[in-house]
Structure 1
């Protein structure tokens, strides 16, 4: 009798299980496509990356075949690709677990172009079960373009709320550049002033000492700083971080003086916000002609390294990693509009008190290069209805934090989910004067996105 009952139970469970499987909706098609229909390739760049995106992560290594058709430029002598192309065709493998792939286009040496050259890339095929999406062709133009707009998935990378990358976006050229947040430690300003920033995207902090000789700084000089140079819940001081509004006259490292004796040693904690713990450093910075000289070492080291940094007028900052020396971070200042990242800002403790605090999914505008922005509520004008006629009355500001975290909500009490705020969008005026409207589509599982890979849409409203 027990065996009969067990048989009935097993049959019942099997029936329920099969019914559940039949009720589960099938996943939508996984599509591969380009990020945009066209992309610019500026004259001052030697190479550029063309990206392919999937609707969701690949279940297995997925081979994508891309055909190319050059106009006015020859493969092999005037440009090349990586992976290499054979008979005007190349293959890109998107690894299992990833939703993006890419290939690189490199200009030939000593190449002179007139700006009319282009390459049309077309997705020929994708390994099953991936299908080819609507944006299956992209034209790479060997000049700057003014994009009419597109949708883009930002490549913040793994880590969810602690996504490993900062992402710089150039609307007019349909480009994004993802850079590991922990890949740099100091940024040297390339403008008229002599200013140096620390890495706010990892929660870095700094403390000035009274000493000017790096070799005389020992672990004893960090006594009492272990609780000072840490940003945590409710701890930390604005005196130990750069101005959270981006005012370069208020950096924690004081203006670099032309008088060497006035330039003190600083203790730097590289930060652990969404980044692995690293050794603290002691640094001293002096001027060298129109540039800088950096002296640096780990706290207990008795000798130090020296690195000269020249100013580059094409960049807001030149960046240095304590481990790797000079390193490339942000694009040329004329070639990005917004930066999506983890950032040091502020949290309010009371009506009169606030502390430095690191925020995920934070958005800066490129205020140092002249980019301006405005927030527009849909109760005033809908995103689709916003047009060139609205630009004149739009209150643009050069406020680095104007977008900040205002575009999203975090999960709250009573089961309130995190998600994009659909009651607002943003209008961006780039450094050239082109005006784009921008809205965020999703950024977390509760609004149809994936944390670390937010989706945005932008459209040209007015061409400069």
Structure 2
């Protein structure tokens, strides 16, 4: 008689036997070929399409890639400068001499007529050599004297070929542009209007013969926009001071911290600040050196960024002198900018502001009452400014002591200046030939307060000196302060050096 249970057992045994055979086959395959289920046999990987001749491929023992680029994306020069240098760079020195081919693309100008190059171009191309063992080279662009240009005139230089094993980097185009002939062609005069008691900081654009006045209480901190440096400057024109504490929590800082400092530091944090004792470290160095700011460089490691207590100075020129005490902490943020934490000295909660970097300006500014604000004109739209400024000076005993000075000339970060004595050359007769031998300074206070003497409230302009100012576009001016105007709103006269 047919037994269904017997048939079921036989079927089950057959299935188990079949699974055992399949497993054995798979195990042998894995052992013999080292291919797992879902794998594909090992095959040589095709070369990466991003590799170029001279690069090492997987399996090579040495990586030899070396990148070539221009040192900058471009530059602007004034037509009266007559020459420009364009530079190339390698990541590392060349093992042998490298020949670079650069194509010239003219923008509304003509080679040979409007400009030439050294070495000379041939059929719209330059050949530049980078000697073995070096990593840089350059060429010169020359322009006829007093050649007039209009906006947009210039040349695009593009790296199109280079010897292997060198690779062309992304920065393969350099745009050279000529500025229109400057507005100023002869002697110009300007009375710098700083207001009653010199309240305003006034920015001056020499080429446009214009000025912009800003109240010093409109901002508190400037956040540097340049490169990989993270620096914060104080509103020195309001007499601001800061003191670093060994604390990371704003809420742990109280009014007692300010009282302790006022006692220990001889009242330098009084209202308004009085600069007694060794207080130079509490305000920014007047030269504009970013390595000498009162607030330390902002670290990528948040724990290194301490709390500062802030005396915001005073409302210069007003009857309400005091500006409220604050406590701040500055961090880097994930967007490549800064995060400012701030609060009143007595507050138990703080606010935050994110400050981006903006390459059009040297600094982005923050007011603790108004937030992000624009103070300075763009980089190349001002040259000098007149303001109040604390400056370290020597006492009769030879010690450094800070003094808060009015009517200090400061210069932009892209401006340099040299002082000339009228004993060697008169202002009127000074020409380009007299530039030889001058030493130009990039210190923010290269002019500073050297233009005048203030003694017993008597204001005297030094008439035996004048200044040569080279602006961010390479234009050069001779400048002096006249006897006109007054202590707080002096008059300057200046002219292009020809």
Partners of 2:315 and 2:323 within 8 A in 1? no
Q: 1:349 to 1:449 in 2, by over 3 A?
A: same
Residues 18-58 of structure 1 deviation map (CA, whole Å, 9 limit, x = unaligned)? xxxxxxxxxxxxxxxxxxxxxxxxxxxxxxxxxxxxxxxxx
Aligned equivalent of 1:393: 437
Work out whether 1:206 is the aligned partner of 2:231. Answer: no
Work out whether 1:425 is the aligned partner of 2:445. Answer: no
1:273 deviates by: 7.5
Map 1:161-180 onto structure 2 (within 5 A). 163-180=198-215
Aligned equivalent of 1:229: 269
Query: 1:178 & 1:143 partners in 2: Cα distance?
Result: 26
Work out whether 1:439 is the aligned partner of 2:439. Answer: no
Query: 2:245 & 2:463 partners in 1: Cα distance?
Result: 48
The partner residue of 2:386 within 336, 340, 347 is 340
Partners of 1:234 and 1:349 within 8 A in 2? no
- The DSSP-based 3-state class of the residue aligned with 2:485 is coil
Query: 2:181 & 2:241 partners in 1: Cα distance?
Result: 38
Aligned equivalent of 1:292: 338
1:236 deviates by: 5.5
Query: 1:266 & 1:345 partners in 2: Cα distance?
Result: 22
RMSD: 2.1
Query: 2:316 & 2:370 partners in 1: Cα distance?
Result: 20
Partners of 2:221 and 2:235 within 8 A in 1? yes
Query: 2:381 & 2:360 partners in 1: Cα distance?
Result: 10
- The DSSP-based 3-state class of the residue aligned with 2:358 is coil
Work out whether 1:313 is the aligned partner of 2:359. Answer: yes
Work out whether 1:156 is the aligned partner of 2:194. Answer: yes
Aligned equivalent of 1:382: 426
Query: 2:493 & 2:420 partners in 1: Cα distance?
Result: 15
Aligned equivalent of 1:411: 455
Relative to the length of structure 2, the TM-score reads 0.59
Partners of 1:228 and 1:236 within 8 A in 2? no
Query: 2:316 & 2:392 partners in 1: Cα distance?
Result: 17
Partners of 2:325 and 2:344 within 8 A in 1? yes
Map 1:4-23 onto structure 2 (within 5 A). none
The partner residue of 1:247 within 278, 282, 289 is 289
Query: 1:144 & 1:325 partners in 2: Cα distance?
Result: 38
Q: 1:265 to 1:234 in 2, by over 3 A?
A: closer
Aligned equivalent of 1:272: 314
Residues 297-318 of structure 1 deviation map (CA, whole Å, 9 limit, x = unaligned)? 1101111111000001111111
Query: 2:432 & 2:182 partners in 1: Cα distance?
Result: 19
- The DSSP-based 3-state class of the residue aligned with 2:418 is strand
1:262 deviates by: 1.2
Unaligned runs of 5+ in 2: 1-149, 153-178
Q: 1:264 to 1:223 in 2, by over 3 A?
A: same
Query: 1:332 & 1:264 partners in 2: Cα distance?
Result: 31
1:182 deviates by: 1.7
- The DSSP-based 3-state class of the residue aligned with 1:398 is coil
The partner residue of 1:187 within 222, 240, 247 is 222
Query: 2:435 & 2:151 partners in 1: Cα distance?
Result: 30
Work out whether 1:349 is the aligned partner of 2:391. Answer: no
- The DSSP-based 3-state class of the residue aligned with 2:392 is strand
- The DSSP-based 3-state class of the residue aligned with 1:418 is strand
Query: 1:361 & 1:238 partners in 2: Cα distance?
Result: 20
Work out whether 1:283 is the aligned partner of 2:328. Answer: yes
1:211 deviates by: 1.2
- The DSSP-based 3-state class of the residue aligned with 1:396 is coil
Work out whether 1:459 is the aligned partner of 2:489. Answer: no
Number of aligned positions between the proteins: 311
Residues 333-385 of structure 1 deviation map (CA, whole Å, 9 limit, x = unaligned)? 1111111111110232244312221111101111x22x110111101101001
Partners of 2:478 and 2:496 within 8 A in 1? yes
Query: 2:368 & 2:211 partners in 1: Cα distance?
Result: 26
1:283 deviates by: 0.3
- The DSSP-based 3-state class of the residue aligned with 1:223 is helix
Query: 1:197 & 1:391 partners in 2: Cα distance?
Result: 33
- The DSSP-based 3-state class of the residue aligned with 1:384 is coil
Unaligned runs of 5+ in 1: 1-113, 117-141, 443-447
Aligned equivalent of 1:110: none
Query: 2:315 & 2:269 partners in 1: Cα distance?
Result: 12
1:272 deviates by: 2.7
Q: 1:273 to 1:407 in 2, by over 3 A?
A: farther
Whose radius of gyration is greater, 1 or 2?
A: 2
- The DSSP-based 3-state class of the residue aligned with 1:410 is strand
